[in-house]
Amino acid sequence: MESAYKLSFPEELKKCVKCGTCRAHCPLFSEIKGEFGSPRGRLALIKQLHEGKIQPTPELADIIYTCLLCKTCAVECPSGVITDEIIIASRNYMNEVMKQPVIKGALLKGFLTRPGMLYASMTLAGLYQKVGLHSLLSKTSLFDLLPEKLNACTKIMPDISKKPARSRIPVVTPAKEEKKFKVAYFLGCATNHIYPDVPVAGVKVLSQNGCEVVTVEGVKCCGMPQMAYGELTTAKKLAKHNMEIFLKEDYDAIITDCASCSSTFKELYLHLFDENEYEFEMAKQLASKTWDLNQFLIRKTGIKPGNNGERKVRVTYHDPCHLKRAQKVFKEPREILKQIPGVEFVEMKNADRCCGSAGSFTVMHHNLSMKVLAKKITNVQAVQPDFVATSCPTCTMQLSYGLKQAGSNAQVVHPVQILANTYAE
């Protein structure tokens, strides 16, 4: 078994001593129960696959893909087994040796690699919602006739009729008052098209706190979806493209408002290339300059909230897996919220437990995802917030859906959206 993902399978798989610690922490194992629903069980199967004792099958692929890649097992493992990376490498192998669905290739190699095509498809989807077709069909039983995964997608998709952030933000936004930094702002696919108010707020906040902000043009998807679904050849092409663009200019920092995008730039690009490749050096440069938006504001610029009113609100925070476990960023978003006038910050129970979204996991394994989400929503409602802040667009989508289904009026936002509201227009 070979994989394009830079990982030594024999050495990594030897680290697992089958202690079962991962079972106690895995969000899915508590729902699935059986051994194949645990990280330990998946590793045992991958080891047999690697040794040639079993062959790739659709049933095996389903087990390997039934993983949130939330890193909980890797963080908690006493032996240091990087289970999530082994899963990614295994998916790449399965992707290479097994026939893949046409729609999967179209999404990962087509729409998500071509910004123009993605823009066109999102525009059509937004129009579908805007003219009322989505609302009308939701009130009928027609959605129930759709294939399961498509039905799940239509249920959870939020309003995408707003103009994308790319059309609302200048390429260059000057710093207000004294310029401290020149930063590049990466517009990820989800925040650009689905939650454009987030980057609009992010750029505004950075400008207010001494940054000249360049929303770099020509960049493509970060490559996280491709890595998660075994399309590593496509991910490498996207990585090379994005690195060449970002490293042309001497920015003080490259900033993103999406936990998955920053995790990809800071960690996963390094795994795509061998250390003797030029691209590996590029990946090291990119990693050293990449910052999560919350982290950059607290550690580099500091924040000065505006005085545009002082609305009293109760806010809690959900930790995205790719921010807390992958990047060790969890204090900074809370510090931002605590510094905003009028905000009462309340910590929910198990704030860092996965919400069950994991990108498209909520569509591909909808029922299982909803079981994980239900526990998160229970913890959210227990603190009765007006807002749930988080730093990942797919977490935002998942939490918003769960709260709506539970009859809650709490809104899900990025911390900078609350901060941006303190500044006058």
Range name among 168-182, 269-283, 296-310 with the lowest pLDDT average: 296-310
Of the listed ranges 132-136, 152-156, 313-317, 341-345, the one predicted with least confidence: 132-136
Q: How many whole angstroms from its chain centre is CA 84?
A: 15
**CA distance to 59, 113, 204, 234, 275, per residue, from 105 (Å):** 20, 11, 37, 10, 29
Letter for the amino acid at 396? T
The residues near 270 (Cβ < 8 Å, ≥ 6 apart) are 280, 283, 284, 287
Mean pLDDT of the chain: 87
CA distances to 254, 405, 420 from 335, rounded to whole Å, are 21, 30, 15
- pLDDT bin (cut points 50, 70, 90) of residue 30 is confident
Q: Residues near 180 by Cβ (< 8 Å), separated by ≥ 6?
A: 209, 210, 211, 300, 301
Q: What is the pLDDT of residue 33?
A: 80
DSSP 8-state symbol, 164: P
Band of pLDDT at residue 137, cut at 50, 70 and 90: very low
Strands 411-413 and 387-389: parallel
Give the CA dihedral 195, 199, 202, 206, nearest 10 degrees: 180
Give 69 or 177, the one with higher predicted confidence: 69
pTM of the complete model: 0.89
pLDDT over 80 at 325, yes or no: yes
pLDDT in tens, 31-51: 988 888 899 999 999 999 888
Mean pLDDT of the region 318-322: 96
353-394 pLDDT, tens digit each: 999 998 778 878 888 999 999 999 999 999 999 999 999 999
Least confident of 85-94, 247-256, 312-321, 400-409: 85-94
pLDDT confidence of residue 142: 45
Torsion of CA 9, 11, 12, 18, to 10 degrees: 120
Confidence of residue 195 (pLDDT cuts 50, 70, 90): very high
DSSP result, 119-134? HHHHHHHHHHHHTTHH
What domains lie within the chain, and their CATH numbers? 9-97 (1.10.1060.10), 306-420 (3.40.50)
Q: What is the pLDDT of residue 145?
A: 43
CA distance 18 to 29: 15
What does the DSSP 8-state code read for residue 187? -
| pLDDT at 309 (0 to 100) | 64
| Block residue for tokens 């990942």 | 392
Mean pLDDT of 283-307: 95
